[in-house]
């Protein structure tokens, strides 16, 4: 085994130790409550026969990219059929939904542009935004106010693009696309809707979430029609204007540099579109089963056919999935990093071919497992609004900022403070407790040596257990109200010998603010820290400068970071009264949008 393989083996062992190992598992005759084959079209004889005929006529493979003669005449037929179904001008066929989204977004925006993306968007949309090199802002899941705030802040962008899903694959919820389109119209933004889990189920003739909405068509840039879910095949078509298609042919690398889909796939897609459009009984059955299941378990009504069932912990999710499998029901446990720690769940997908008795068996088995009751299950999902107070370095004023934000949040409702690792004799938790009205939680780890977490732990013959830190975070995320989290030192300090603090934070993708000094030397430290954060898709909500007012540094950082910049002077005396005086002069809506704290 080479050196690289040894390192990879160690990484895999770490995943195994945390219970996060993934393995391919076929259905093996089990009742399908897991796949995205909503209308059972993957088994439909019309699709199978269409695929056979296409292969016999045009061959087994796509041969090359379409710009080099690959594919078959069926490709254009698929594009036109998808566009006609969704009432669009035209479309472009890609080999997969992932390639479609990673090709689409960079073809529409680039440097100097702004992308605003939902926090729970699919990885393909996230990666497409990253590849575009546009500035990316992430709004809280389905938070229209936060979306509008970010668009307002991006007024100087050349183009603005909003990315959203018609139905979210892990939560089963959906945006109000009419509202989303009106927000886009107010701010000159274009809208992309990924219809992956809405197509075939929602809208007239199953044409998707946008077709079911009262959206403003003037802002709609593109929709994604995926072939591997309700259509029973694979591939994806981006539908929109004829101009959009031409742009994608010239700019979408996932189209330009990929072999065309096999003719059998194109043939199956054509048949799948025809069958899905006519499948009113099938979609009604799938949607009805999902509603019945949610009602039986006391869960919120799903937007389509996905019902997430909270389990309260990773172990219980895995245990429940195994028990259901033993009963002949294929329901998978959804674990980090697919979902955030603390929101582990079972993901049940209802199909047109499922029987009510299948779901009754599911409900009975879940009750036997003594999973949380409906009310407790709801509470087991993260209910806290977390905010991480990051620093460019140690002693930049993070603790005072954390105390101030905790104090502000506590005036709106429950608020808690947590420090994952405390090192050194100066206890930040006690400082926050003395300055704020919120509840402080015990630090995750406490070490005597004032050093980076990995060094402080080593000095005592200990180490920071990342799995245990994840568990504590998951537990704290179930608390009500606001959770203010203050990591140790600067973002780049090591938590362990193998893991930097910034990489642990990137796994959890929690909202943050960045605290920096106001004076000499701050430009270099702050801009480097921001660059490091943005490489990991961790863009802070705001920058808070601590110290005497420095107009030049303030203006430079505001211009180059494009973040809201707040200033906290060195308060003398430092106490609750002086913090309240500062808070009275601040508009913290950019920092705490969930509560829209504004004491000005």
| Residue 411 pLDDT exceeds 50 | yes
Structure tokens at 61: 């493979």
Q: Would you state the pLDDT for residue 375?
A: 38
197 given a catalytic annotation: yes
Pick the catalytic residue from 169, 352, 385, 474: 169
Residue 100 φ/ψ region, left for φ over 0, alpha for ψ in the -120 to 50 degree band, beta for the rest: alpha
The last residue of one of the domains, among 305, 338, 372, is: 372
Residues forming beta bridges with residue 193, ordered by sequence position: 164, 223
CB 294 within 8 A of CB 339: no
CB 305 within 8 A of CB 116: no
Mean pLDDT along residues 526-542: 86
Give 566's pLDDT tier (boundaries 50, 70, 90): very high
Output the domain CATH number for residue 429: 3.40.50.300
One domain for residues 433 and 567: yes
| Residue 600 pLDDT exceeds 70 | no
- H helices present in 436-521, as ranges: 453-459, 466-476, 501-508
Spatial separation of the C-alpha atoms in residues 115 and 151, rounded to whole Å: 9
CB 91 within 8 A of CB 216: no
One domain for residues 88 and 173: yes
List the domain range (segments joined by +) for residue 286.
279-372
Instruction: Report which DSSP code applies to 349.
Output: E
- Max avg pLDDT among 12-16, 95-99, 353-357, 380-384: 95-99
One domain for residues 338 and 393: no
Report in angstroms the alpha-carbon separations of 201 from 47, 58, 266, 356: 18, 31, 21, 18
36 given a catalytic annotation: yes
One domain for residues 220 and 286: no
Tens digits of residue pLDDT in 474-487? 788 878 889 999 99
* Domains in the chain, number: 3
One domain for residues 443 and 308: no
Q: Could you tell me if residue 380 is inside a domain?
A: no
Q: Could you tell me if residue 404 is inside a domain?
A: yes
Q: Please, which residues have CB within 8 angstroms of residue 348's CB and are 6 or more apart in sequence?
A: 33, 34, 290, 293, 306, 307, 308, 309, 331, 362
Output the domain CATH number for residue 334: 3.90.1150.10
| Residue 583 pLDDT exceeds 50 | yes
Q: Would you state the pLDDT for residue 487?
A: 95
Lowest mean pLDDT among 2-6, 60-64, 436-440: 436-440
Strands 415-418 and 439-440: parallel
The last residue of one of the domains, among 346, 372, 398, is: 372
Spatial separation of the C-alpha atoms in residues 585 and 597, rounded to whole Å: 12
One domain for residues 272 and 287: no
CB-based burial, 552-583: b 16+ in 10 Å, e otherwise: ebbebbeeebbbbbbbbeebeeeeeeebeebb
| Residue 576 pLDDT exceeds 60 | yes
One domain for residues 286 and 332: yes
Q: Hey, what's the torsion of the CAs at 484, 488, 489, 491, to 10 degrees?
A: -80
Spatial separation of the C-alpha atoms in residues 108 and 121, rounded to whole Å: 18
Tens digits of residue pLDDT in 152-205? 988 789 999 999 999 999 999 999 999 999 999 999 999 999 999 999 999 999
Pick the catalytic residue from 75, 79, 122, 452: 122
Pick the catalytic residue from 36, 101, 213, 352: 36
Q: Could you tell me if residue 595 is inside a domain?
A: no
Q: What percent of the chain has pLDDT over 70?
A: 94
CB 306 within 8 A of CB 346: no
Pick the catalytic residue from 137, 165, 393, 486: 165
Spatial separation of the C-alpha atoms in residues 127 and 97, rounded to whole Å: 12
Report in angstroms the alpha-carbon separations of 543 from 191, 354, 403, 484: 28, 51, 16, 16
CB 404 within 8 A of CB 482: no
Spatial separation of the C-alpha atoms in residues 388 and 491, rounded to whole Å: 11
First to last CA, the chain: 63
Q: Would you state the pLDDT for residue 384?
A: 64
Tens digits of residue pLDDT in 293-323? 988 888 888 999 999 998 878 888 888 999 9
Pick the catalytic residue from 44, 79, 113, 194: 194
Q: Could you tell me if residue 482 is inside a domain?
A: yes
Q: Could you tell me if residue 60 is inside a domain?
A: yes
The helix/strand/coil state of 333 is: strand
One domain for residues 428 and 324: no
64 given a catalytic annotation: no
> Which one, of 112, 329, 95, 369, lies nearest residue 235 by Cα?
95
Q: Could you tell me if residue 31 is inside a domain?
A: no
Question: Angle 263-277/74-85 helices, nearest 10 degrees?
Answer: 20
Tens digits of residue pLDDT in 260-272? 999 999 999 999 9
Dihedral sign for Cα 433, 467, 492, 535, please.
Answer: negative
Structure tokens at 499: 């893991």
Pick the catalytic residue from 160, 187, 229, 476: 229
Pick the catalytic residue from 149, 187, 197, 508: 197
One domain for residues 268 and 294: no
Q: Could you tell me if residue 29 is inside a domain?
A: no
Report in angstroms the alpha-carbon separations of 260 from 64, 76, 226, 273: 6, 12, 16, 19
- If you count them, how many residues does the chain have? 600
Spatial separation of the C-alpha atoms in residues 85 and 79, rounded to whole Å: 10
Q: 3-state DSSP: the chain helix, strand, coil percent, rounded to 5?
A: 45, 15, 40
Mean pLDDT of the residues in the chain: 90
Output the domain CATH number for residue 75: 3.40.640.10
The last residue of one of the domains, among 223, 250, 277, is: 277
- H helices present in 86-189, as ranges: 97-108, 123-132, 144-153, 177-186
Q: Could you tell me if residue 269 is inside a domain?
A: yes
One domain for residues 296 and 392: no
One domain for residues 390 and 318: no
CB-based burial, 170-197: b 16+ in 10 Å, e otherwise: bbbbbbebeebbbbbeebebbbbbbbbb
Spatial separation of the C-alpha atoms in residues 480 and 431, rounded to whole Å: 23
Q: Would you state the pLDDT for residue 24?
A: 67
One domain for residues 73 and 180: yes
């Amino acid at each position: 085994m080479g050196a690289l393989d040894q390192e990879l083996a160690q990484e895999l062992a770490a995943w195994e130790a945390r219970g996060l190992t993934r393995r391919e598992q076929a259905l093996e005759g089990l009742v399908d409550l897991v796949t995205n084959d909503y209308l059972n079209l993957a088994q439909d004889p019309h699709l199978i026969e269409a695929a056979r005929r296409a292969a016999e006529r045009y061959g087994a493979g796509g041969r090359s990219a379409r710009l080099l003669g690959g594919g078959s005449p069926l490709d254009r037929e698929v594009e036109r059929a998808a566009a006609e179904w969704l009432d669009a001008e035209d479309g472009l066929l890609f080999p997969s939904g992932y390639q479609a989204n990673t090709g689409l977004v960079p073809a529409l925006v680039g440097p100097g542009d702004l992308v605003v993306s939902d926090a729970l968007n699919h990885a393909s949309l996230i990666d497409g935004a990253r590849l575009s090199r546009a500035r990316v802002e992430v709004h809280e899941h389905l938070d229209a106010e936060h979306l509008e705030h970010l668009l307002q802040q991006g007024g100087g962008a050349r183009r603005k693009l909003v990315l959203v899903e018609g139905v979210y694959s892990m939560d089963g919820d959906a945006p109000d696309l009419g509202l989303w389109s009106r927000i886009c119209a107010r701010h000159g933004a274009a809208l992309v809707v990924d219809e992956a889990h809405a197509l075939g189920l929602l809208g007239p003739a199953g044409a998707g979430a946008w077709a079911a909405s009262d959206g403003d068509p003037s802002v709609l840039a593109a929709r994604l029609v995926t072939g591997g879910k309700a259509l029973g095949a694979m591939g994806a078509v981006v539908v929109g204007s004829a101009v959009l298609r031409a742009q994608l042919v010239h700019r979408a690398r996932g189209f330009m540099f990929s072999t065309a889909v096999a003719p059998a796939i194109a043939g199956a897609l054509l048949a799948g579109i025809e069958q899905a459009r006519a499948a009113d009984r099938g979609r009604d059955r799938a949607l009805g089963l999902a509603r019945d299941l949610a009602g039986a378990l006391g869960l919120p009504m799903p937007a389509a056919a996905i019902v997430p069932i909270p389990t309260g912990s990773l172990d219980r999710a895995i245990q429940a999935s195994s028990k259901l499998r033993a009963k002949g029901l294929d329901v998978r446990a959804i674990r980090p990093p697919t979902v955030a720690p603390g929101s582990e769940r079972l993901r049940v997908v209802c199909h047109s071919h499922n029987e009510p008795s299948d779901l009754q068996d599911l409900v009975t088995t879940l009750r036997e497992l003594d999973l949380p009751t409906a009310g407790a299950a709801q509470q087991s999902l993260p209910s806290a609004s977390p905010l991480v107070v990051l620093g460019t370095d140690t002693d930049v004023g993070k603790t005072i900022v954390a105390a101030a934000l905790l104090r502000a949040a506590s005036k709106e409702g429950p608020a808690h403070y947590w420090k994952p690792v405390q090192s050194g004799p100066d206890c930040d938790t006690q400082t926050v407790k003395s300055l704020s009205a919120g509840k402080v939680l015990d630090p995750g780890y406490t070490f005597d040596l004032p050093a980076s977490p990995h060094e402080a732990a080593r000095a005592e013959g200990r180490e920071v257990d990342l799995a245990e830190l994840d568990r504590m975070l998951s537990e704290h995320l179930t608390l009500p109200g606001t959770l203010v989290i203050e990591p140790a030192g600067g973002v780049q300090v090591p938590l362990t010998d193998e893991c930097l603090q910034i990489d642990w934070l990137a796994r959890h993708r929690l909202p943050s603010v960045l605290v920096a000094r106001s004076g000499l030397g701050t430009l270099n430290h702050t801009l480097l820290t921001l660059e490091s954060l943005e490489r990991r898709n961790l863009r802070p909500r705001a920058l808070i400068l601590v110290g005497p007012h420095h107009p030049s540094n303030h203006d430079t950082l505001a211009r180059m970071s494009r973040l809201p910049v707040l200033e906290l002077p060195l308060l003398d005396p430092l106490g609750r009264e002086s913090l309240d005086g500062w808070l009275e002069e601040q508009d913290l809506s950019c920092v705490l949008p969930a509560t829209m704290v504004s004491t000005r």
